[in-house]
């Protein structure tokens, strides 16, 4: 297992980690198989979405904030219930197919670490499995 250390800078942000995940897969030597991405945090997640237009990231964050506003009358004492809900909606893991030593992604797809309770020091675990 490899771990990416991620320093987030905002309360909510999506960080493109595609290049780092590609690098880890290529360095593993696995030509065919799968890669499991896992975020070991309850207020963060990982998703795959468009990485060609930066407005998509902005719109994703805006849409999540509209669905689950930070101030929502929640009871959790830490005051970060919205982040827990967003993490649950987005999810904390993704599977990637590995072919020819690279993740199989669509033309416009990228991999994003999703921060919902930052800024913090975070981790993204990557397990690369041969076929």
User: How confident is residue 97, by pLDDT bands cut at 50, 70 and 90?
Assistant: very high
Asked whether the whole model's pTM tops 0.85, one would answer yes
Kindly indicate the confidence band of residue 78, based on its pLDDT and cuts at 50, 70 and 90. Answer: confident
* 2-130 placed in CATH 3.30.56.10: no
Query: Got the DSSP string for 74-106?
Result: ---TTS-HHHHHHHHHH-SEEEEEEETTEE---
Q: Which of 116, 119, 115 is nearest to 81 (CA)?
A: 116
Whose tokens are 């005051």? That residue is: 79
Judged against a pLDDT cut of 90, whether residue 83 lies above it is answered with yes
Dig out the tokens for 67 from the structure: 């669905």
**Which among 130, 113, 1 has a CA at the least distance from the CA of 57?**
113
Domain ranges of the chain: 2-130
CA 62 to chain CA centroid, nearest Å? 16
Is residue 77 pLDDT above 90, yes or no? no
pLDDT in tens, 111-120: 999 999 999 9
Question: What pLDDT is recorded for position 79?
Answer: 85
CA angle 72, 73, 78 (to 5 degrees): 95
Query: Model confidence over 5-14: pLDDT tens digits?
Result: 999 999 999 9
Tokens of 62: 């805006």
Q: What is the mean pLDDT of the chain?
A: 97
Q: What is the CA radius of gyration of the chain?
A: 15
Residue 122 has what pLDDT? 98
Instruction: Give the mean model confidence (pLDDT) for residues 71-90.
Output: 93
Token pair of 118 as six digits: 């930052």
């Amino acid at each position: 297992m490899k771990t990416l250390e991620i320093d987030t800078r905002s309360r909510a942000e999506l960080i493109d980690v595609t290049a780092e995940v590609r690098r880890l897969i290529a360095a593993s030597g696995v030509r065919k198989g799968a890669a499991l991405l896992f975020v070991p945090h309850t207020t963060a997640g990982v998703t795959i979405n468009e990485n060609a237009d930066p407005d998509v990231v902005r719109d994703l964050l805006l849409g999540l904030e509209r669905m689950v506003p930070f101030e929502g009358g929640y009871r959790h004492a830490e005051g970060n219930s919205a982040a827990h809900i967003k993490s649950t909606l987005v999810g904390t893991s993704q599977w990637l197919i590995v072919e020819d030593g690279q993740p199989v992604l669509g033309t416009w797809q990228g991999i994003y670490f999703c921060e919902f309770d930052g800024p913090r020091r975070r981790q993204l675990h990557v397990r690369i499995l041969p076929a």
